[in-house]
């Protein structure tokens, strides 16, 4: 009996062990299936999204065949109410797929991608009530301003690429027709842009097409064709003629159609003030702010955040001048160590290694915005490279702006700004879909943060650098506060003037420029300013928690490792990975 008892216990232990092992294997199998399912979903999602327009495909992939992609219809894209509504239905479907995947079974990198996608899709679904509030046109960031540069830098490495480029130029007509129809719908709904904004866009378009024979796309692309060694001389002549014809007979008429449509509708705009004066404008602005800044804070919370930042930085400037009155004189005669763009890039590439992780060596071409586009484009821009060819990078500089400030500008666009962050992220081999998601608050916030950091690399005396950063942060805060005031609280020009007077800014011409710029591009400045303040908030949290264990390089590495994401997702990782 005694032996039977022990035999029973032994059998029970064996049975329990077998069940435990079987259960473990079952759980592990389930986890593997969840991971495979998630990878399949994100890879298929990438292939679907990257093909939605040919420009995205060309700029995202150098070798699309490796993803099983075949070039179908060449197109710039679509912009219509039905298209936007179809996107919303697609996002609903994507969220349902995510919900069906076991989050706890995913690897940490997959969980990060999951969180990013879930945030992105849920936010996009909140725009359902604002279909006609959207616009692809804008004086600085609008598609009509960006397309010329995107065409000029279109990746042409084979004859097939050249054929695709020419087909793409010809596709601008149906795309602009859709955009014009959309503008008519906006006008019929009382949502057409103000006369000021329309006039600015019209002026930008007219400048671009005013000299067809010397259009910069004819000159730029023809020069490229002349240097294509995969073409015979006869083929070069044929393609140069086709490019000339495409620009003159398709692209320019498309811009003329846009100009004519905007002129016809120019008297229909019912609002020359902020977005909140439209029926659903305040809610739409809340969506725009959430989308542009990647912050989960409400607009009132962001106003409080900005007001505090302005107050603190004004006090900081006063403290600096009190302890070192010579700073004011030195500010009048600031000079940066280098002025030539390629030399600045080379200098910054090595100078940042003290506080930032190393990235692979890459090429950086400095190009200049053509004269016909200078008035309406920003001071500089970085063209994000292909996922599979990220070692070739292009930065455009706009000579219309003060070239003596090109040092911090190239820190913003180059090292350790957009170029550096983009190369680091691509080199980390993230899920491909993350390269397509737009998280401008992180991206522009990072570039603004490191632009301010660059003043400490410029050889300036520390108090001078501290003062400049405090001043720049104050100015950016003021721009953000005006944006919130005009588009959320309904500030008029007079209100904006009074606000700036309270800060002892009495230059009416400057106030007019700021007011008009912010009216034209809602939620643009907060992308930079709020993005910067969110990063600073994370940094201060890490400094406070880690105290003397805090490492600036470790913090930067953490931010870069997470990559473009909502700030709530980044903060969760900060708590789990850096502050645990």
- Greater confidence (12 vs 240) lies with 240
Same domain, 207 and 129: no
419 vs 198: CA distance, rounded Å: 33
Same domain, 265 and 288: no
**Out of 57-66, 96-105, 550-559, least confident range:** 57-66
Asked whether residue 423 is domain-assigned, the answer is no
Query: What's the total number of domains in the chain?
Result: 3
CA-wise closest residue to 151 among 79, 255, 70, 290 = 255
pLDDT at 568: 98
Asked whether residue 369 is domain-assigned, the answer is no
CB atoms near residue 342 (< 10 Å):
12
Using one digit for the tens of pLDDT, what is the confidence trace for 468-525? 999 999 999 999 999 999 999 999 999 999 999 999 999 989 999 999 999 999 999 9
Same domain, 258 and 304: no
Same domain, 330 and 470: yes
Using one digit for the tens of pLDDT, what is the confidence trace for 106-163? 999 999 999 999 999 999 999 988 999 999 999 988 999 999 999 999 999 999 999 9
- Greater confidence (207 vs 18) lies with 207
86 vs 436: CA distance, rounded Å: 19
pLDDT at 291 over 90: yes
When the pLDDT of each residue in the chain is averaged and rounded to a whole number, the result is 93
pLDDT at 415 over 80: yes
What is the residue range of 299's domain? 273-334+460-549
Asked whether residue 10 is domain-assigned, the answer is no
Asked whether residue 394 is domain-assigned, the answer is no
Same domain, 325 and 465: yes
CA-wise closest residue to 306 among 92, 425, 478, 61 = 478
Same domain, 183 and 261: yes
pLDDT > 90 in the chain, percent: 83
Binned at pLDDT 50, 70 and 90, residue 334 comes out as confident
Same domain, 253 and 159: yes
User: What phi, psi does 452 have (nearest 5°)?
Assistant: -65, -40
pLDDT at 2: 46
Query: What contacts 37, CB < 8 A, 6 or more positions away?
Result: 101
Asked whether residue 153 is domain-assigned, the answer is yes
Over residues 459-471, the mean pLDDT reads 96
Select from 91, 109, 133 the last residue of a domain. 133
Asked whether residue 74 is domain-assigned, the answer is no
Using one digit for the tens of pLDDT, what is the confidence trace for 28-81? 888 899 999 999 999 999 999 999 999 999 999 999 888 888 888 899 999 999
Whether the CB-CB separation of 557 and 550 falls below 8 Å is answered with: no
Asked whether residue 258 is domain-assigned, the answer is yes
Over residues 212-237, the mean pLDDT reads 95
List alpha helices for 454-551, DSSP H: 462-487, 493-502, 508-520, 524-546
CA-wise closest residue to 369 among 56, 67, 146, 66 = 146
Using one digit for the tens of pLDDT, what is the confidence trace for 383-404? 889 999 999 999 999 988 877 7
Same domain, 259 and 330: no
Same domain, 263 and 283: no
Select from 230, 253, 271 the last residue of a domain. 271
Binned at pLDDT 50, 70 and 90, residue 24 comes out as low
Asked whether residue 419 is domain-assigned, the answer is no
Select from 68, 99, 133 the last residue of a domain. 133
Same domain, 163 and 298: no
Same domain, 180 and 247: yes
467 vs 318: CA distance, rounded Å: 9
Same domain, 153 and 92: no
């Amino acid at each position: 009996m005694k032996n039977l008892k022990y035999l029973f216990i032994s059998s029970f232990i064996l049975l329990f062990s077998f069940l435990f092992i079987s259960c473990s294997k079952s759980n592990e199998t389930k986890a593997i299936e969840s991971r495979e399912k998630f990878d399949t979903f994100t890879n298929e999602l990438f292939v679907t999204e990257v093909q939605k327009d040919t420009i995205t495909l060309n700029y995202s992939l150098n070798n699309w065949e490796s993803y099983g992609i075949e070039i179908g219809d060449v197109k710039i894209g679509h912009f219509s109410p039905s298209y936007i509504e179809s996107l919303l239905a697609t996002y609903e479907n994507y969220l349902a797929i995510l919900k069906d995947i076991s989050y706890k079974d995913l690897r940490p990198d997959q969980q990060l991608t999951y969180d990013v996608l879930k945030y992105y899709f849920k936010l996009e679904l909140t725009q359902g009530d604002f279909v006609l509030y959207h616009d692809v046109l804008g004086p600085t960031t609008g598609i009509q301003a960006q397309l010329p540069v995107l065409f000029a830098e279109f990746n042409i490495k084979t004859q097939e690429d050249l054929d695709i480029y020419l087909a793409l130029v010809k596709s601008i007509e149906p795309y602009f027709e859709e955009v014009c129809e959309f503008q008519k719908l906006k006008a019929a709904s009382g949502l057409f842009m103000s006369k000021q904004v329309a006039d600015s866009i019209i002026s930008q378009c007219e400048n671009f097409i005013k000299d067809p024979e010397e259009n910069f796309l004819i000159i730029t692309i023809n020069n490229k064709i002349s240097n294509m060694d995969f073409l015979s001389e006869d083929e070069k002549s044929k393609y140069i003629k086709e490019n000339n014809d495409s620009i003159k007979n398709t692209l320019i008429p498309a811009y003329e159609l846009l100009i004519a449509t905007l002129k016809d509708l120019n008297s229909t705009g019912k609002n020359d003030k902020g977005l909140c004066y439209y029926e659903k404008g305040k809610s739409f602005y809340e969506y725009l702010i959430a989308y542009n800044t990647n912050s989960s804070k409400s607009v009132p919370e962001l106003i409080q955040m900005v007001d505090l930042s302005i107050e603190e930085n004004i006090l900081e400037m006063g403290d600096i001048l009190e302890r070192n009155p010579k700073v004011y004189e030195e500010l009048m005669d600031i000079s940066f160590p280098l002025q030539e763009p390629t030399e600045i890039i080379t200098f910054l590439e090595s100078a940042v290694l003290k506080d930032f992780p190393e990235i692979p060596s890459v090429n950086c071409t400095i190009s200049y915005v053509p004269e016909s586009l200078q008035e309406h484009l920003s001071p500089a821009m970085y063209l994000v490279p292909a996922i599979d060819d990220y070692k070739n990078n292009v930065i455009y500089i706009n000579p219309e702006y003060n070239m003596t400030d090109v040092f911090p500008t190239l820190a913003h666009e180059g090292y350790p700004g957009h170029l550096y962050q983009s190369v680091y992220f691509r080199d980390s081999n993230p899920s491909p879909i993350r390269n397509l998601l737009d998280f401008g608050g992180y991206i522009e916030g990072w570039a603004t943060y490191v632009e301010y950091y660059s003043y400490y690399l410029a050889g300036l005396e520390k108090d001078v650098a501290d003062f400049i950063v405090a001043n720049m942060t104050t100015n950016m805060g003021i721009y953000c506060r005006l944006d919130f005031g005009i588009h959320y609280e309904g500030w008029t020009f007079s209100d904006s003037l009074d606000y700036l007077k309270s800060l002892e800014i009495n230059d009416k011409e400057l106030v007019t420029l700021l007011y008009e710029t912010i009216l034209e591009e809602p939620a643009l400045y907060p992308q930079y300013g709020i993005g910067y303040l969110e990063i600073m908030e994370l940094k201060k949290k890490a400094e406070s928690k880690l105290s003397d264990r805090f490492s600036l390089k470790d913090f930067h590495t953490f931010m870069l490792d997470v990559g473009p994401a909502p700030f709530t997702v980044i903060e969760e990782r900060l708590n789990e990975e850096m502050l645990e």
